[in-house]
Amino acid sequence: MGKQIPLEDLMSDTPQQRNLMRLFEEDTYNLRIWGHKLSTAIEEWCHAQKLILKATAGLASVVMSYGEQKFPLEETAYDIPAITNRLAQTFNEINGWMEVFMQQIECCVQYPVRKINDELDNLVEVLRPDVASAFSNLAEAEDKFLKLSKKDTARKIEDASHDVFLAKTQYNKLAMDYCGRMNVVQTNRYIQFIEPMLAMMYAYKSLFNVGHDAFRSEFLTSFLTQAQQQMQEIDKNSEDIKRSAKAADLSQNLIGTLKAEHDLCYDESLMFSQPHLSDAVQKQGYLRIKLKGSFFMSNWEKYFVYTQGASLMWQKPDQLIGSLMIDLSSAPGCSAEVAKDQVERRFVFNITVQGGCENRNEGEKKWYLQARNAVDMHEWIDVINNLTGTHPKMQEKKETSIAGEETFEVKKNATTDKFMNDEKIFSEHESSDLTLGQPIQFDFLSLSSTPDIHVNVNELSNDVDKFEVRFLGSVEVLCEEKKKVSTLVQSAIERVLNARKTHSISESILCVMVICNKSKNVMLLDHEKEDDIKAVFPISDVLCSTTYSDERIFALVTKAQSAEEGLSNDSLLKCSILSTIDTSEASDVCRALEKMSITNNSEMKNGDGNQLNLITNVDADQLNDSPDLEDTSVPMRKCGEDALEHAYAGVKRYSSGRAAAQHLVIPILSSIILLYVTRCNLARVVH
C-alpha cells in the first residue's frame, strides 16, 4: 500500500501536514497529465481500429464486386470471380472478429481509463480550489478574531468566534473529502491503469485465438494452397515467356522493321521510283477529308476510311460503327485521280462523283482526301478505280476485248517477243497481265447466276465424297494455251493469298465440298445448312485441280460461267482457291476429283476428244522445280512473314503482360490473408 495522509491529523495545522498534502497534490497532478496522454493514445488507437474496420469492409466490397465487372479480355483459365468471392467472405469474417474485439476494448479499456481521468480532473480542477478557498476563509476568520481589542463588546467577540468555527468546519469537511479521495487514488492507481492494459492483451489473445482456429480449417487451407499453386504457375509461365521472348532481339528487329516501313512510306526517292498500278480492291486507313465548315471555310478532318464490298465507308476515330460515304456500285463515271493544282497540300487526291449518283438534283461533286504519303495516295486511287471499273489496266483490257481475239493475240505475241530473252520477267509479266484486270472475289456468287443447274440435295446418293473446306477466294484467268494452265493457277493462288495477307482478310467461308459421282457434279454446300447450295460445278466444266506448297491449300479450275465479249469460254477460266480444315489434305481432294474425272471419261469415250475435261493433279513441288515457274513472290512473302512474326511477338508480349497483371489480383489478396494467418500464428505462440 502506498503512502496515506493521516485524516486524524487534519485538525492540527502543522507545516509537516501542509507539506504532505502538497506532495500528494503534485503526485495527483502529474498522474492526471499521464492519464490524459494514455487516454488520448487509446482514443487514437481505437479510431485507427475503426478505420481498419471500415477499410476492411470496403476492401471486401470491392473484391466481391469483381464478378460484376465486365472485362472484354477476361480469361477463363483461372476462375478469378470464385477466388475473389471467397477472399471477400474471409475479409468479412475478419471484420466481424475485429468488431467484437473493439467492443471488448471499449468496455474493458476505454471506460476504466476514462473513469479514473474524470476522478483526477475532479480532484485537481474542483476539490483543490475549494479546499484552498476554505483554508483561506479560515485564515481570515482567525485573523479577524485575533484583531479584536479588549474594548470590543462581547457580542462582537462572540460573532467573530462563531465565524472561525464555521470556517474551520467547512475547511475540515472539504479537506477530509479531498485527502480521502487522494488516498483512494494512491491505493487504486495500479488497478485503475494497469488493469485496462491487461484487458487489452486478453482481448488481443481472444482475437488471435479465434483467427488461428479459423485459419486452421481444412477448407481455407486447401483454398490458400490452391491459390499459391496458381501463383507459382503464373510466375513460371511469365518467366518462360520472358526467356523465350528475347526482348532485345525483338526490339532490334522491330526497329529495323519500322525503319524499313518508314523509308518505304516517306522516302521521297522511293515514292516515285516504283509503279503505282495495283489490282487491289480492299483498303483501309486514316485519311484527312476536306469538309465545308462555317463562314465559307473548309476544314481537313481526320476519318478512318475503308472499303466494304463496292462501298466506301468512313467513321470518326472515336466512333464504333462506320457509315456510308460513297456507294461506288451505284455511281457510274466515278473515278479517283491525283489533285494537282486544286489544293496546296501534298498527297491529296480527289474522287469525282457524277450527278445523279448521290443526289439527282446536284451536279458533279468532288471529294478531296489527303493520304499520309504518296504511296498511300496511289494505293487509294488504284483501289477506288478498281472498284468503279476505271482502272487503266481494266480500261485497256476492256478495249482489247472489244477489239476481238485477233487483237488480243497480236498483243500477246508482241509481249512475248519483247520478254523472250528473260524467262523470269516473262513469267511475271504474263501472269500479272492475264490476271490484273480481273477482280478477286472473296465470296460466292448466288446460285441465280447459273439458272440452268438444278440440284436436289435431298436426292443425293451415298456415292459421294465429302470434304470440309474453307473458300479463300477466286479470280478469273485468261489462258489461250492449255499447257500453261498450271503455271497460271500457281500465280493466281499466290495473288489471292498475297491479297488476303496485304489487306488483313482473316475471315473465310466454311463449307462442305461434295463430289457426287452419280450426278457428276462438284458442289459447295453451306456448313450449317447443307440444303443451302453455295456453288455447283459440273464435271464437264472442271478442268484441273492443283495443290500448293501448303499441304492444305488447293485450287479448283473451272470454266467461267460467262465470258467477256470477244473471248471464248476456253480462254476465260475461274480459279477457286480452297483450304481443307479436317484431317484430309489437299492431295486427297485432288485425287478424288481425278478419280471422278477418269470415271466420267470412261463413260464418254465416244465424246469429243478435244474437250479438256480430264482433271490433272499437279504437284506444287514439281512446279517449283520447273525453271519456267520461278516463285518471284518469295522475297515479298518473306518480308510479310517477318513483319507478321514481329507483330505476333508484340501481341503475345502484350497479352502475357496483361494476363500477368490481371492475375496479380490473386497474389495480392492472398498475401493479405497470409499476413493475417502469420499474425494469428505468431500471436498464439507469444500468448
- Kindly list the distances between the CA atom of residue 682 and the CA atoms of 76, 92, 208, in Å, as whole numbers in the listed order: 37, 22, 9
Mean pLDDT lowest among 193-207, 243-257, 261-275: 261-275
Residue 227, in any domain of the structure: no
Quick one: 596 and 452 in the same domain? Answer: yes
Q: Residue 516 pLDDT > 60, yes or no?
A: yes
Backbone CA torsion sign across 435, 437, 443, 444? negative
Phi, psi of 334, deg, nearest 5: -75, 135
- Please determine, for residue 26, whether its predicted confidence score (pLDDT) is greater than 70: yes
pLDDT (mean) for 499-508: 79
Which of 26, 88, 32 lies closest to 58 in space, CA to CA? Answer: 88
**CB 342, CB 361: distance < 8 Å:** no
Supply the pLDDT for residue 635: 38
- Which residues pair with residue 323 across a beta bridge? 314
DSSP 329: G
pTM above 0.75, yes or no: no
Q: What is the mean pLDDT of residues 110-124?
A: 90
pLDDT band at 81 (very low <50, low <70, confident <90, very high): confident
203 falls in which pLDDT band (50, 70, 90)? very high
- Taking residues 133-143, report their average pLDDT: 87
- Per-residue CA distances from 186 to 112, 118, 649 (Å): 16, 15, 79
Which is higher by pLDDT, 343 or 601? Answer: 343
Q: Which of 53-57, 159-163, 627-631 has the lowest mean pLDDT?
A: 627-631
Would you state the pLDDT for residue 484?
A: 64
CA distance 80 to 78: 6
My answer on whether 454 and 595 are in the same domain is: yes
Do 123 and 47 share a domain, yes or no? Answer: yes
How large is the average pLDDT for residues 218-247? 77
Same domain, 376 and 446: no
Per-residue confidence (pLDDT) for residue 153, from 0 to 100? 85
User: Is the distance from CB of 482 to CB of 475 less than 8 angstroms?
Assistant: no
Q: Between these two residues, 195 and 602, which has the higher pLDDT value?
A: 195
Per the structure, the complete domain to which residue 304 belongs is given by 284-390
Question: Greater confidence, 248 or 203?
Answer: 203
In the predicted structure, residue 250 carries a pLDDT above the cut 80: no
pLDDT at position 55 is 93
Q: Which has more pLDDT, 401 or 386? A: 386
Q: To the nearest 10°, report the CA torsion of 128, 134, 137, 143.
A: -90
Clarify whether residues 74 and 131 are in a common domain: yes
The whole-number pLDDT of residue 676 equals 66
Most confident of 131-135, 216-220, 567-571: 131-135
Mean pLDDT along residues 143-147: 87
Choice between 638 and 243, residue whose per-residue pLDDT is larger: 243
Task: Name the domain boundary from 218, 247, 270.
Answer: 218
What's the pLDDT score for residue 421? 38
Please, which contacts does 591-600 make with residues 24 or more away whose CB atoms are closer than 8 Å? 591/617, 592/465, 592/467, 592/515, 593/515, 593/522, 593/542, 593/545, 593/556, 593/617, 594/545, 596/465, 596/515, 596/517, 596/520, 596/539, 597/539, 597/542, 599/517, 600/520, 600/539, 600/540
Total residues belonging to the chain:
687
The reply to whether 497 and 367 lie within a common domain is no
Rounded to 5°, angle at Cα 184 from 181 and 190: 140
In terms of pLDDT, which residue wins out, 673 or 99? Answer: 99
- Amino acid letter, 386: N
Highest mean predicted confidence (pLDDT) among 19-28, 66-75, 540-549, 595-604 = 19-28
Most confident of 157-171, 609-623, 660-674: 157-171
C-alpha cell recorded at residue 79: 476462375
Residues 366, 437, single domain; the answer is no
Q: How many angstroms separate the CA atoms of 417 and 637, rounded?
A: 30
Q: Is the pLDDT of residue 444 over 70?
A: no
* Residue 671 scores a pLDDT above 70: no
Which of 341, 366, 390 corresponds to the end of one domain?
390
Q: Specify whether 580 is located in the same domain as 512.
A: yes
Q: What is the pLDDT of residue 36?
A: 92
Is the pLDDT higher at 413 or at 67? 67
HSE-CB for 317 with a 13 A CA cutoff:
6
67 compared with 326, residue with greater pLDDT: 326
Residue 555 is assigned to a structural domain of this protein: yes
Q: What is the identity of the amino acid at 8? A: E
Helix axis angle for 154-215 and 218-245, nearest 10°, is: 70
Pair 533, 486 in one domain: yes
Mean per-residue pLDDT, 25-37 = 91
337-341: list long-range contacts, CB under 8 Å, 24+ apart. 337/381, 338/377, 338/378, 338/381, 339/368
Q: Is residue 235 part of a domain?
A: no
DSSP 7: G
Q: Which CATH number goes with the domain that contains 612?
A: 2.30.29.30
What local confidence, expressed as pLDDT, does residue 434 receive? Answer: 46
| Whether 458 and 554 share a structural domain | yes
Domain presence at residue 249: no
Sequence-distant (6+) residues with CB within 8 A of 68 are none
**Does 243 map to a domain?**
no
Which CATH number is 132's domain given?
A: 1.20.1270.60
The tally of domains found in the chain comes to 3
Is residue 267 included in any domain, yes or no? no
Q: Which residue has the higher pLDDT, 416 or 119?
A: 119
Dig out the grid coordinates for 269 from the structure: 526517292
Phi, then psi, of 220 in degrees rounded to 5? -70, -35
**Are 195 and 300 part of one and the same domain?**
no
Q: Is residue 620 part of a domain?
A: yes
**Can you give the pLDDT at residue 34?**
92
Of 53-57, 222-226, 406-410, 516-520, which gets the smallest average pLDDT? 406-410
Question: Band of the pLDDT at 45, cuts 50, 70, 90?
Answer: very high
Cell of 140: 481570515
* Residue 646 is assigned to a structural domain of this protein: no
Q: How many CA atoms lie within 13 A of 410 on its CB side?
A: 7
For residue range 82-101, what is the model confidence (pLDDT) as tens digits? 888 888 888 999 999 999 99
Question: What pLDDT was estimated at residue 267?
Answer: 58
**Contact by Cβ (8 Å): 611, 539:** no
Q: What is the grid cell recorded at 340? A: 494537282
Domain boundary among 199, 218, 237: 218
Q: pLDDT by residue (tens digit) across 609-653?
A: 433 344 444 444 444 443 333 343 333 334 334 433 443 444 344
Q: Which pLDDT belongs to residue 459?
A: 55
The CA-atom distances, in angstroms, between 127 and each of 173, 175, 185, 360, 521 are 11, 9, 14, 105, 118
| 369 vs 69, residue with greater confidence | 369
Query: What percentage of the chain carries pLDDT values higher than 90?
Result: 14
Choose between 601 and 204: higher pLDDT.
204
Query: Cα 237 to the chain's mean position, in Å?
Result: 19
CA distance 26 to 32: 10
Q: pLDDT (tens digit, 9 = 90+) per residue, 524-545? A: 888 777 777 888 888 877 877 7
347's torsion region: left (phi>0), alpha (psi -120 to 50) or beta?
left
Tell me, yes or no, whether 12 and 129 share the same domain.
yes
pLDDT of residue 259 exceeding 60: yes
pLDDT digits (tens, 9 = 90+) for 171-181: 888 888 888 88
Residue 435 in this model has a pLDDT that exceeds 60: no
C-alpha pair distances (Å), 313 with each of 205, 304, 308: 71, 8, 7
